[in-house]
Structure 1
Amino acid sequence: MSLVLNSQLDELDLQILDILIKDSRTPYLEIARICHVSGGTIHVRMKKMEDMGIIKGTKILLDMPKLGYDVCCFVGIYVDKSSSFAYVSEEMTKIKEVVELHYTTGDYSIFAKVICKSISDLQDLLMNSINTITGIQRTDTFISLSQPIDRNIQL
């Protein structure tokens, strides 16, 4: 943890982040015990990192297949012109199956992570939702067979 990401973060901040990366549900008092500081210090440090935008919130991780969403795929999107990015992005946010959207370099203008219940749902989504958005020239779809790594970066 000797890597200092930001001159405004010290070793205690990095230690707190390391603990939360491993288990974001760790109670503040437990973090305080591990770090040998008071619970109030952890609250102050967490507030500081939230205000700095380093901690942007928490989210629950779901086992999507157990909820009936068996298909995870990535869609490479070719946008017809750069002026279409904002509109395409706005329209993609309206599609609930799109869980991530990235502007990229390389072959694709936009890369999207999509979760669907089935291959037929994916086909319907591509044909009737994504590929009908004005500004999308064409798409390439890559189905994920498994996800052996799913983690945050280690500090």
Structure 2
Amino acid sequence: MKVMHDKRLDTADIRILAHLLKNAKASNHELAEVAFLSPSQCHRRVKRLESLQIIRGYTVQLDPQALGQEITIFVNVSLDAHGSNPALRFSESIRGVPEVIECFSLTGETDYLIKARLPSLKAMSEFLMHRLMSVPGVGSIKTSVVVEEIECLPSLPADLLEQARREAQ
């Protein structure tokens, strides 16, 4: 068995998680078939995974272009000052900005990496110049526009996938 912070996962758990990543709407019966369990055993497993916070929730994947979000950008943000106060001010300012779909605090050359979706070049310019550059503490930004999204799928950690493969042999 694999131990992750006292959260034991076996092949059945991994199969359940992998299938839910592909189809969060999968029925308990479908999950049971995939995991080679009875429906009642499977239900208990899913409830356990939820109680351990391994499963934090269920989401829907939306097609950004179908919703008019034609442009995806990544923005590297460098703060003009460092320490807890500028970082806290930036974090508080960026939360809830509707264009921002992900934001990460980084080590290295830049302080933050933002992923944002926007409907047009004009909206991108407005976002960068009037929203992002006006956030207190932002020193510089460097923007990359996504030309093509190659693959963007949720996945299990590689070690769990390898464990499931070994146990299935």
**One fold, TM greater than 0.5?**
yes
3-state DSSP of counterpart to 1:75:
strand
What CA distance in whole angstroms lies between the structure 1 residues aligned with 2:103 and 2:77? 10
Partner of 1:75: 75
Partner of 1:141: 143
Q: After the TM superposition, which of the residue ranges 116-125 and 53-62 deviates more from structure 2? A: 53-62
Q: How many residues align?
A: 153
Partner of 2:2: 4
Partner of 1:131: 133
Aligned Cα root-mean-square deviation (Å): 1.6
What CA distance in whole angstroms lies between the structure 2 residues aligned with 1:153 and 1:36? 21
What CA distance in whole angstroms lies between the structure 1 residues aligned with 2:133 and 2:123? 14
Q: TM-score, normalised by structure 1?
A: 0.90
Aligned AA (1:134): P
What CA distance in whole angstroms lies between the structure 1 residues aligned with 2:46 and 2:89? 36
Unaligned runs of 5+ residues in structure 1 are none
Partner of 1:19: 19
Q: TM-score, normalised by structure 2?
A: 0.83
What CA distance in whole angstroms lies between the structure 1 residues aligned with 2:28 and 2:12? 13
Unaligned runs of 5+ residues in structure 2 are 162-169
Runs of 4+ residues over 4 Å off in structure 1? none
What CA distance in whole angstroms lies between the structure 2 residues aligned with 1:147 and 1:5? 34
What CA distance in whole angstroms lies between the structure 2 residues aligned with 1:95 and 1:88? 12
What CA distance in whole angstroms lies between the structure 2 residues aligned with 1:92 and 1:25? 31
